Amino acid sequence: MIRCSILFLLLCTATIFSQDTIPRYWIGFTNKINTNYTLNNPLDYLSERAILRREKQAILLDSSDLPVSQLYVQAVLAAGNFELWATSKWMNGIIVKTQDTLALDSIVNFTFVESLDRLKANLKSSVDNKFDQEFSSKSTILSIENTPYFPFGLTYMQHHLHGSDVVQNLGFNGQGKHIAILDAGFKKVDQTPALEHLFNENRILSTYDFVRKESSVYEDHYHGEAVLSIIAGYDPEYYIGSATKASFHLLISEDVFSETITEEYYWVVAAEYADSAGVDIINTSLGYTTFDDSTTNHSYSDMNGHTTIAARGLNIAASKGVLCVTSAGNSGANSWKYISTPADADLGLTVGAVDSNGLRAPFSSQGPSFDGDIKPNVMSVGWNTYYIPPGSSFADQGNGTSFSAPMMTGMVAALWEAMPELSNFELIHLLEEYSHLYGQPDSLMGYGIPNIHQLLLDNSNYEELFSTTKILNVYPNPFTEELIVLYKSDSDKEIQIKMHSISGKIFHNRGLNVKKGINKLRIFQANELALGIYLITVDNEVIKAIKSK
């Protein structure tokens, strides 16, 4: 698509929601003895896809898969003026919304109640917008008629850093992989042209807002839409995401009006839903350190990979075979400086931010985790990353590990499509092994920047990966007025392109400068040619095309 200019879209739009200040409480149960479900009938609480994922990775069902006891839930709800807000089978408890403190005092005496914790107080949030720092404050003027980096356009460099452009051009773009995005909202996803293919092909599998308990997510915060565009955006020659053929569950777990530990519980509940639905990958471009109620703040010592609610939840999701990709955080240049949670989780893939040249972003949160694990695990482009703003036809650039995580999520989907025999942990290990700092990981960049093309070359059996053919395609064929040649070059150079008849008469013969990668070459004014067969020669390779009409 030809674009002559771009207008910056202001993302800080007014919201139509008001803050809900009624407190939330966590009520933990001692056991699941009275649950109505059994491990022998998993289809009662897990999808076939979730069960197949476990079987494929030799993961046994256990008590954490069983829903909580409804007898316990009903007993709590009958004890006072409580609204059930969420249920967590992994943490074995419920979240209730209530101001009935007398009833709360009474249920702590129930024999099956293990814990009672206040999660969200009547505090006005000091956080006006938790994501503003991640977006560019300047407009970008772009003029693109053609690009040699077909079909990536603007996004070529952020893919090329990893060899992701080559992997996608080999045909691996996440097809068949299900991704859950846990975020703050997905504003105008249904009105963004570069995401239209997801709806046309029925690849938005579900939507749900676990904060407000509703299925509608397209009127909420813009952050998740930007994340989705980095993975799935598709506008050939202008913008390509990192896994354009994947399918998605769009789930809200973040309350943008406050910063409370409740959101970690929401995250776990959403992750449970994603697991039950059978997702392969969870993308989390969120993180938690301190809260509006300072008495619930995390310390760096909590970032040990298995203490916080979010880290515990992520580890359980990973133990079910889900590959969890998490942003490291944007605190690298401030006093906290360390990763947030669930980026600290032992079993997750934590992603820091670099620019498209591989330079570390100063804001990218540092490791290690408190117990010494290498964090971040890997790095991807989160500094001046191209994304599509809500409802816009034009790309912009933004900063944040919120953007490097979805870049990596898409690459994970592409690799897993190509190598479906791998487990989630085997794939994480390969990504680390094929990163440029694997021999000497550090606290700033972990194992470094993965080369996913080399990873695929060394660990797959696809003969087409080693093809030396340079002319990849000629279309439309037959043609009438215009002919497109897709040419793969191994370097920046000048090539000679010729078009001639079977008898040898030359109609086009000229030199063109091409870039390393796939170049889209147009042959114009073909309407004057006679009907028949023509040969296209690019350097020493020849392909046949037929002129019709």
Q: Which residues on neighbouring strands pair with residue 541, listed in sequence order?
A: 538
Q: Is the pLDDT of residue 409 over 60?
A: yes
Q: Is the pLDDT of residue 181 over 90?
A: yes
pLDDT given for residue 8 in this prediction: 29
Cα 243 from Cα 310, distance rounded (Å): 26
How many CB atoms within 10 Å of residue 136?
15
419 within some domain: yes
534 & 411 share domain = no
> What does the pLDDT average to over 438-449?
97
pLDDT given for residue 2 in this prediction: 33
450 & 509 share domain = no
126 within some domain: no
452 within some domain: yes
Task: Return the amino acid letter for 174.
Answer: G
445 & 499 share domain = no
Q: Is the pLDDT of residue 143 over 70?
A: no
pTM confidence score: 0.83
Look up residue 380 and give its two tokens: 């991807």
Cα 1 from Cα 51, distance rounded (Å): 42
Name the least confident of 123-137, 173-187, 225-239: 123-137
CATH, residue 180: 3.40.50.200
259 & 360 share domain = yes
> What does the pLDDT average to over 348-374?
96
> What does the pLDDT average to over 24-28?
95
pLDDT band, residue 145 (cuts 50/70/90): very low
> What does the pLDDT average to over 112-137?
66
Look up residue 18 and give its two tokens: 């008001």
Q: Is the pLDDT of residue 7 over 60?
A: no
In degrees, to the nearest 5, what angle opens at C-alpha 474 toward C-alphas 491 and 2? 75
pLDDT given for residue 515 in this prediction: 81
115 & 154 share domain = no
- Residue 366 and residue 332 in contact, taking contact as beta carbons nearer than 8 Å: yes
429 & 516 share domain = no
Regarding predicted confidence, which is higher, 5 or 274? 274
pLDDT given for residue 500 in this prediction: 73
CATH, residue 532: 2.60.40.10
Neighbouring C-alpha atoms within 13 Å toward the C-beta of 408? 38
User: Which of 425, 459, 493 represents a domain boundary (last residue)?
Assistant: 459
Name the least confident of 25-34, 383-392, 530-539: 530-539
pLDDT tens per residue, range 219-238: 999 999 999 999 999 998 89
User: Which of 103, 120, 137 represents a domain boundary (last residue)?
Assistant: 120
76 & 181 share domain = no
Burial class (CB in 10 A: 0-12, 13-18, 19+), 425: middle
pLDDT given for residue 19 in this prediction: 62
127 within some domain: no
> What does the pLDDT average to over 323-346?
96
Look up residue 255 and give its two tokens: 């309350």
pLDDT given for residue 131 in this prediction: 60
pLDDT band, residue 471 (cuts 50/70/90): confident
> What does the pLDDT average to over 6-21?
42
**Percentage of residues in the chain with pLDDT exceeding 90?**
68
- Residue 431 and residue 454 in contact, taking contact as beta carbons nearer than 8 Å: no
Name 301's Cβ contacts closer than 8 Å, sequence gap at least 6: 370
31 within some domain: yes
Cα 15 from Cα 401, distance rounded (Å): 24
> What does the pLDDT average to over 539-543?
80
Cα 355 from Cα 207, distance rounded (Å): 32
pLDDT tens per residue, range 499-512: 877 666 777 777 77
Cα 100 from Cα 397, distance rounded (Å): 47
> What does the pLDDT average to over 369-390?
96
166 & 92 share domain = no
115 within some domain: yes
Q: Is the pLDDT of residue 16 over 80?
A: no
pLDDT given for residue 255 in this prediction: 93
308 & 445 share domain = yes
252 & 313 share domain = yes
pLDDT given for residue 144 in this prediction: 25
DSSP letters along 437-461, please? TTTS-BTTTBT--B-HHHHHHHH--
3 within some domain: no
Which range of residues forms the domain containing residue 391?
150-459
418 & 508 share domain = no
Burial class (CB in 10 A: 0-12, 13-18, 19+), 352: buried
212 & 244 share domain = yes
Name the least confident of 42-46, 153-157, 443-447: 153-157
Q: Which residues on neighbouring strands pair with residue 479, listed in sequence order?
A: 547
CATH, residue 75: 3.30.70
Q: Is the pLDDT of residue 438 over 90?
A: yes
161 within some domain: yes
Task: Return the amino acid letter for 534.
Answer: Y
**Percentage of residues in the chain with pLDDT exceeding 70?**
88
Domains identified in the chain, total number: 3
User: Which of 403, 438, 459 represents a domain boundary (last residue)?
Assistant: 459
Q: Note the Cα 354 to chain centre separation in Å.
A: 16
**Per-chain mean pLDDT for the chain:** 87
Closest CA to 134 of 426, 366, 353, 431: 353
